[in-house]
């Protein structure tokens, strides 16, 4: 989607919780929507703008370690808020529709509340079968999201790659790094820092993110991956919000 369409769809997600609040009977459900979901959407939009700004540097010099850390911060924040926003929607449904009997946010059954939890979907099917079917359409995406890109579920956060090198550049980077270390040991700190800077300035920047977990490591192009996740998230959110506010049983 183009930038205008993206912005419009993100802002549309905020409208129902803001303009149709009286349609929600349960105060805690409304709190999850206005103070949880809406705030996360705004933070996600801020992260997306930062990702786009950095990605525009593709093909140029590698970004600095500081810029890479800033980018990684926004990537991890984006996915933490995305997963959190899905949980806010689930709890809004739980409070408003009382889907799982006796389950509260402080009780032992709280882990059953999730848009893609089997027990939650089974309860949802009885009151909103179209929404249940719509959510199941996104279940494979959600499983892959949680297994690879949910920072809250992993000990290793998403890493933003500062640059990539060809074989020759990689060999030169190793040589410079080794020489830099030797200069530091000799007490020649300024020379060591200069060589270290030269080694990190080789190659080019491509918007790649590294996903690590037990037994797997892979690089993915940040822009198409984020766009893919963004589309699924918006479709899920639209379905849930339409069900809650418009009584349309999840038909976006």
| pLDDT at position 1 | 62
Higher pLDDT, 217 or 27: 27
Higher pLDDT, 50 or 174: 50
The per-residue pLDDT for range 89-147, each reduced to its tens digit, is 999 999 999 999 988 888 788 889 999 999 999 999 999 999 999 999 999 999 999 98
| pLDDT at position 247 | 79
With bands split at pLDDT 50, 70 and 90, how would you rate the model's confidence at 7? Answer: confident
Mean pLDDT of 24-32: 96
Higher pLDDT, 7 or 69: 69
pLDDT, averaged across the chain = 89
| pLDDT at position 70 | 94
Residue 28 has pLDDT above 90, yes or no: yes
CB–CB of 193/182 below 8 Å? no
Return the number of other C-beta atoms located less than 10 Å from residue 251's C-beta. 12
Q: Please, how many CA atoms are within 13 Å of residue 99, restricted to the half-sphere of its CB?
A: 30
The per-residue pLDDT for range 150-185, each reduced to its tens digit, is 888 777 899 998 888 878 877 877 888 888 888 888
The first and second tokens of residue 138, run together, are 């996104």
Entry pTM: 0.87
What is d(CA 58, CA 77) in angstroms, rounded to the nearest whole number?
A: 22
| pLDDT at position 248 | 67
Between CA 26 and CA 107, with CA 120 as vertex, the angle to 5 degrees is 65
């Amino acid at each position: 989607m183009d930038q205008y369409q993206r912005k419009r769809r993100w802002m549309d997600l905020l409208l129902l919780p803001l303009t149709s609040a009286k349609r929600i009977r349960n105060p805690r459900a409304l709190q999850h929507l206005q103070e949880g979901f809406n705030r996360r959407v705004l933070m996600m939009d801020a992260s997306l703008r930062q990702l786009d700004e950095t990605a525009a540097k593709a093909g140029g010099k590698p970004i600095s370690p500081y810029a890479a850390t800033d980018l990684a911060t926004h990537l991890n924040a984006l996915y933490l808020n995305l997963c959190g926003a899905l949980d806010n929607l689930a709890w809004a449904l739980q409070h408003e529709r009382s889907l799982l009997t006796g389950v509260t946010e402080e009780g032992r059954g709280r882990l059953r509340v999730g848009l893609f939890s089997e027990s939650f979907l089974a309860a949802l099917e009885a009151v909103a079968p179209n929404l249940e079917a719509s959510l199941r359409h996104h279940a494979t995406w959600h499983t892959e999201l949680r297994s690879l890109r949910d920072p809250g579920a992993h000990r290793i956060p998403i890493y933003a790659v500062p640059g990539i090198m060809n074989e020759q550049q990689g060999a030169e980077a190793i040589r410079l790094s080794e020489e830099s270390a030797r200069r530091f040991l000799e007490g020649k700190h300024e020379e060591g820092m200069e060589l270290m800077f030269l080694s990190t300035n080789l190659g080019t920047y491509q918007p790649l993110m590294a996903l690590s977990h037990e037994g797997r490591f892979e690089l993915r192009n940040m822009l198409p991956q984020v766009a893919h996740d963004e589309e699924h998230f918006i479709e899920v959110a639209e379905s849930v919000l339409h069900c809650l506010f418009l009584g349309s049983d999840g038909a976006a």
